[in-house]
């Protein structure tokens, strides 16, 4: 996550133990971005490794979130951990060579903050970019989690991206929206404890 970002807004989490939808009922997966399955069915490993389907890694889709960044597309991955402060940390991200959407959500005491960031090709990277959250809502399936518990939820998030480095075309702003659902297993708990967030 880049340095120099503004303090983000805090918002109350809503809870719904019956959160549901088609995403939660169907398990989907894909190969990593460097594995290409062509229309005729043959597999290409762009990194030069194996193309044996039995040996290729499969990535379980743990999110289905629409993003408006860099053309509309879907973000398919979410990771849930507990950090050293006892906060639930959700990391919604791409596993792609083309897109670099990252959304980090911290939940503690019934409230949450979100921080978005990305990087662009070339020497610019994320230099001179500031992302400010302007609206957000989060629904989680429960208040208390242990290791292995399923963290299920809905996110709707909008931020303003501002280009602040005049070296690169002056000042420019645009909004970025991420909205959708996620379902992932909690990792790295505080040992032996039920943690309320």
Give the lowest-confidence range in 11-15, 76-80, 120-124: 120-124
Decide if 32 is inside a domain: no
Decide if 13 is inside a domain: no
Q: Which domain holds residue 72?
A: 66-191
Cα separation, 91 vs 82, whole angstroms: 11
Decide if 131 is inside a domain: yes
Contacts of range 32-41, beta carbons closer than 8 Å, 24 or more positions apart:
32/57, 32/59, 32/95, 33/95, 33/96, 33/97, 33/98, 34/97
Decide if 52 is inside a domain: no
Question: Are the C-beta atoms of 89 and 81 separated by less than 8 Å?
Answer: yes
Decide if 72 is inside a domain: yes
Decide if 112 is inside a domain: yes
Decide if 151 is inside a domain: yes
Highest-confidence segment of 116-120, 141-145, 154-158, 171-175: 154-158
pLDDT at 166: 59
Q: Which residue has the higher pLDDT, 16 or 47?
A: 16
pLDDT digits (tens, 9 = 90+) for 23-48: 887 778 666 666 677 888 777 777 77
Q: Is the pLDDT of residue 62 over 90?
A: no
Cα separation, 20 vs 163, whole angstroms: 38
Under the banding of pLDDT at 50, 70 and 90, the label for residue 129 is: confident
Q: Is the pLDDT of residue 193 over 80?
A: no
pLDDT at 135: 96
pLDDT at 17: 94
Number of domains in the chain: 1
Across the chain, mean pLDDT equals 81
pLDDT at 190: 54
Q: Residue 58: how many CB atoms within 10 A of its CB?
A: 10
pLDDT digits (tens, 9 = 90+) for 151-173: 999 999 999 988 766 565 656 78
Decide if 161 is inside a domain: yes
Q: Is the pLDDT of residue 124 over 60?
A: no
């Amino acid at each position: 996550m880049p340095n120099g970002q503004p303090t983000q807004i805090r918002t109350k989490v809503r809870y719904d133990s019956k959160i549901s939808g088609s995403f939660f009922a169907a398990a989907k997966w894909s190969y990593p971005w460097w594995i290409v399955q062509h229309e005729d069915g043959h597999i290409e490993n762009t990194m030069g490794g194996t193309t044996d389907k039995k040996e290729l890694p499969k990535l379980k889709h743990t999110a289905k979130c629409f993003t408006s960044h860099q053309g509309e597309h879907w973000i398919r991955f979410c990771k849930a951990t507990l950090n050293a402060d006892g906060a639930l940390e959700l990391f919604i991200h791409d596993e792609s060579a083309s897109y670099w959407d990252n959304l980090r959500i911290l939940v503690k005491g019934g409230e949450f903050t979100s921080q978005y960031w990305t990087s662009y090709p070339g020497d610019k990277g994320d230099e001179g970019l500031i992302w400010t959250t302007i609206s957000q809502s989060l629904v989680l399936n429960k208040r208390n989690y242990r290791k292995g518990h399923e963290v299920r939820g809905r996110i709707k998030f909008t931020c303003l991206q501002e280009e602040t480095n005049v070296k690169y075309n002056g000042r420019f702003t645009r909004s970025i929206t991420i909205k959708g659902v996620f379902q992932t297993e909690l990792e790295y708990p505080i040992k032996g404890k039920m943690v309320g967030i």
